[in-house]
């Protein structure tokens, strides 16, 4: 039997990525997000229009997607409730967000120059996708404050141990993306870390314990 319900969120399970975008002062903003999918060499991203990342990409379309594996989950969670914008909505503030201009330092991640732009990529990320935003579209109506971003992937850098003998293929057995399901982190189908984002969204606690990362 099925029931008709209205879930608070519809995060059925998507990869977590860190987005590098260029701030007005030339520094790199680093933002975690989990609404991303790929078709060919196009990446489709979903974000709130008030995010500093979206503001940056409207003016400066260069972008790097830093893909995340489970070993990076603690670093990712350290910046889950940080924003690169001094201005934030009451809803964000109520969930515990705070302003932080240097998210690399806050996360404990290492910068490295990107090959196609002035952006910094994440050294610890096993896969970096560099490119440009080709289009930004409103989704869900003007009151949703949501948008989709179409990214053209122009360069793919992959850690060597993830490559098969032919460099055109990434080994699906070795690549284990960190997945977010309903604001909780999962790796290999199991809970991976206690999520600050889930607490901010006031989600029910997980019925089983997850690692603290300590």
Q: Where are the domains positioned within the chain?
A: 14-200
Give me 32's structure tokens: 């975690």
C-beta of residue 2 within 8 angstroms of C-beta of residue 24: no
Q: Can you give the pLDDT at residue 180?
A: 86
User: What value, to the nearest 5°, has the Cα angle with vertex 79 and ends 74 and 82?
Assistant: 160
Q: Could you list the pLDDT tens digit for every one of the 214 residues in the chain?
A: 998 888 877 878 889 999 999 999 999 999 999 999 999 999 999 998 988 999 999 999 999 999 999 999 999 999 988 888 777 777 777 777 888 889 999 999 999 999 999 999 999 999 999 999 999 999 988 888 899 999 999 999 999 999 997 788 999 999 999 998 888 888 888 888 888 877 776 777 776 555 544 4
Q: Tell me: domain 14-200, CATH 1.10.10.10, correct?
A: no
Q: Quick one: pLDDT at residue 142? A: 80
pLDDT, residue 214, reads 45
Q: In the chain, which ranges are E strands?
A: 14-15, 17-22, 28-33, 36-39, 42-48, 62-67, 82-83, 98-99, 111-113, 120-122, 127-139, 146-158, 179-181, 184-187, 190-193
49 burial class (0-12, 13-18, 19+ CB within 10 angstroms)? middle
pLDDT of residue 24: 94
- Residue 37's pLDDT is what? 94
């Amino acid at each position: 039997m099925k029931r008709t319900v209205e879930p608070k969120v519809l995060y059925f399970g998507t990869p977590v990525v860190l987005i590098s975008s260029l701030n007005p002062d030339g520094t790199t903003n680093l933002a975690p997000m989990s609404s991303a999918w790929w078709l060919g060499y196009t990446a489709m991203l979903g974000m709130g229009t008030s995010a500093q990342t979206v503001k940056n990409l409207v003016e400066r379309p260069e972008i790097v997607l830093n893909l995340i594996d489970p070993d990076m989950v603690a670093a990712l969670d350290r910046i889950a409730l940080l924003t690169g914008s001094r201005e934030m909505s009451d809803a964000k503030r109520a969930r515990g967000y705070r302003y932080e201009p240097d998210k690399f330092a806050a996360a404990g991640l290492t910068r490295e120059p990107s090959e196609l732009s002035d952006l910094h990529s994440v050294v610890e990320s096993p896969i970096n996708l560099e490119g440009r935003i080709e289009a930004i579209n409103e989704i869900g109506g003007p009151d949703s404050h949501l948008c989709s971003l179409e990214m053209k992937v122009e360069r793919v850098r992959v850690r060597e141990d993830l490559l098969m003998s032919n460099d055109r293929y990434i080994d699906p057995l070795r690549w284990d993306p960190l997945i977010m399901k309903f604001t909780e982190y999962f790796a290999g189908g199991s809970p991976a870390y206690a999520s600050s984002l889930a607490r901010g969204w006031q989600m029910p606690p997980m019925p089983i314990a997850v690692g603290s990362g300590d």
